[in-house]
A and B are shown apart, each in its own frame.
Chain A
Amino acid sequence: MFKLFLKILKDKDKVISINSIDTKQAEVIAVGEKIQQKVKKLFKGSLAIRQIDAGSDNACEQELVALSNAFYDVERFGIHFVASPRHADMLLITGPVTQNMAEALRRAYQATPNPKIVVAVGDDAIDGGIYKNSYAILNGVSNIVPVNYNIPGDPPSPKTILCGILNILETLEV
């Protein structure tokens, strides 16, 4: 046990530094209602994210899970994932919104207190992606709840998502 701890403490940090992030990769498209400046200031030090899977194929979820590992380490920016929409500031929604998840998504949106930011992650969430116009889906999150930002990609890499979130909070100047 102690050998393991010593090994951990002796290892150098492998986490990617914020300065090395290629700012051109931070493609974030602002749609819908503009988020006010004071809201961004409120969330700059601490952001609680609730991730909602609206019938996705789990590709985006894998990338989001990778955000918490030692390499990308999203926690150092004060961002953490929470278990309940009541605790959340930002809703990260993935998946093309299947028929069965529409009502659940709507309720999760209503259960989140203001001020909140809604981000659609992945091409599926933006407009249906590779499942576009299928009978089982509702073609993107913006048809169900008002979306503030889109992060495109199928799936977007964790670096892209990280840059995107930091861009939204204006921690990172693009």
Chain B
Amino acid sequence: MITNIITWILQLIFVPIMAPLCVGITRKLKAKFQNRKGASIFQPYQDLQKLFGKDEIISKDASWIFRCAPYIVFTVTIVVGASIPLFASSINNTITSDLLVIVYTLAIGTFFLALAGIDTGSAFGGFGSSREMTMSALAEGGFIFSLLTMALISNSTNLFMISQNSLLLQGHFFLSTALAFCGFFIIVLAETARFPFDNPSTHLELTMIHEAMILEYSGKKLALMEWASANKLLIFIAIASNLFFPFGLAQDLSASAIILGIIVFTIKIGIFCLVIAILESSIAKFRFFRLPDLLIIAFILNVIAIILIY
């Protein structure tokens, strides 16, 4: 009973606590590739702490949607973060762990983020929302289908059931898993606003997608938005690593298995951050109208993966 409660609490707070570390590691690795020393990997925590200490200025054109959107977006990432397999696959969650519930709950976050961008009536927020909705609309097909491939292999749309599937551990269905993973990786880059879709550290508003919508935020609300963005990165890395490669997940709720699960998960996060950092240091951001081609490629890879299952 106690271990149950501890596991649940750990599942709930794991994503918010580890997410800034994830962003910090990625930035540090990128700095290394630029031959710089870069900030420490705990810098995002200090950024958030500073932002929580600042005052805010809210535009007089903003409505209650602008004020409520950070809370809703942040809550969405916590709810989704608690519903995906992080370090244990034996948690029995039938409330929020369904594939479609995850996709559409994240869509609630995107909806309110886009509305908050339009709300203040600045030019940047408006076109940021437009671009974000275009990318999100096209990425949703690939997202659902890559998760669907794994669901069909495991005969369940519950994410915990998929990660428990022992067939994946034994290496069956390798080709379908590999193709679905390639498709899903493209979606990870799209939804977390990384290269080649968006540059997370740009100052040029004309090239922004995600950053443009939060230009009007300050103080605590900005902290929540940045934290939610980091949470989303960790959520997608978690889905990518634990659904497609469920090695090392705790199969029961004993303490040793959970600690092993956390360590393996941290290693997986490190590998993904390394890959993303290498990618961001090697290629340039694509022109906006080349991005739908990438997203449709992701969709088609997943369709092929589904056909190859049978």
Contact = CB atoms under 8 A, between A and B. Distances in A.
Interface of A: 1, 5, 8-9, 11, 13-15, 42-43, 45-48, 69-70, 73, 75-78, 80-84, 86-87, 89, 111-115
Interface residues of B, number: 35
Given A46-B50, A75-B39, A76-B37, A86 B57 contact: yes
B53 to A, nearest CB: 5
A77 B47 CA distance: 12
Given A83-B202, A86-B217, A70 B35 contact: yes
Given A43-B50, A86-B217, A114 B205 contact: no
Given A46-B49, A75-B38, A76-B39, 6 more contacts: A15-B36, A75-B36, A81-B203, A83-B204, A87-B222, A113-B56
Contacts of A47: 50
Nearest to B281: A5
B172 interface: no
Nearest to B219: A113
Pick the 7 closest A-B CB pairs, nearest first: A45-B46, A86-B218, A83-B203, A46-B46, A84-B215, A113-B218, A46-B50
A89 B217 contact: no
B61 interface: no
A42 B50 contact: yes
15 contacts: A5-B281, A8-B33, A13-B37, A15-B37, A73-B37, A75-B31, A75-B38, A76-B37, A76-B40, A78-B46, A83-B203, A84-B215, A86-B218, A89-B50, A113-B57
Contacts of A11: 35
Interface string B40-74: 10010011011001111100000000000000000
Contact of B43 (A70, A78, A115): A78
Interface in B162-221: 202-205, 208, 211, 215-219
A70 B37 CA distance: 8
A76 B35 contact: no
A83 B215 contact: yes
A113 B203 contact: no
Nearest to A116: B54
Interface of B: 31-40, 43, 46-47, 49-50, 53-57, 202-205, 208, 211, 215-219, 222, 278, 281-282
B282 A1 contact: yes
Given A1-B282, A45-B46, A78-B43, A89 B31 contact: no
B36 A70 contact: yes
A42 B51 CA distance: 9
A167 B31 CA distance: 24
Nearest to B212: A83
A123 to B, nearest CB: 26
A9 to B, nearest CB: 7
Contacts of B56: 113
A38 to B, nearest CB: 9
B34 A70 contact: yes
A111 B57 contact: yes
Interface centre among A9, A77, A89, A114 (most CB of B within 10 A): A114
A46 B47 contact: yes
Nearest to A71: B36
Contacts of A8: 32-35
A114 B39 CA distance: 25
A5 B38 contact: no
Contacts of B54: 42, 89, 113-115
B13 to A, nearest CB: 22
Contacts of B33: 5, 8
B50 A45 contact: yes
A70 B32 CA distance: 10
A45 B55 CA distance: 17
